[in-house]
Structure 1
């Protein structure tokens, strides 16, 4: 319950929500219950909203067509070869690295 009280005083969105609920005549206990429900709704939306994931299927064939080894690509980006390998196989998601990697491969 102390976490809710801390959020009630820190987060601007929560402060506004608490102010509206206080103006509506709600008690602190009711406001905390409403805050928990609002957080649960927001989390549910985050968990159930479909996110677009960039396609990575072109990375490995593009690298292989340019005869670039995993080691050379990893050395260029300053990462381990396993990082590039897991990125190409879709095991690890790193959108920034994937986009940078794709641009580098296209320019190579």
Structure 2
């Protein structure tokens, strides 16, 4: 780990962010995180929108098999994560969303045919 002590030290992550903004201006806007603790890491987080993960995954060239799926908050929130290299930075893509549930009538029960 190398700690950046100047803004120039964040250049890898900031350059990747700039190029993403130019190359994919119509993509859903993520929460962006850049930190001097990991100056080559650009984190893109999509909150309450699992559907926005797929266009970002495709744009970044991340293979489906490289997606990590987890649940958190006692299984009420799904989390999709993947990382890739882009323009000299490591990009971490994360999406959070509510668990998808089928309506009770579709699951079965006493009213099911």
TM-score, normalized by length of structure 2?
0.22
Higher helix share: 1
Please tell me whether Structure 1 or Structure 2 has the larger radius of gyration of its CA atoms.
1
TM-score, normalized by length of structure 1?
0.23
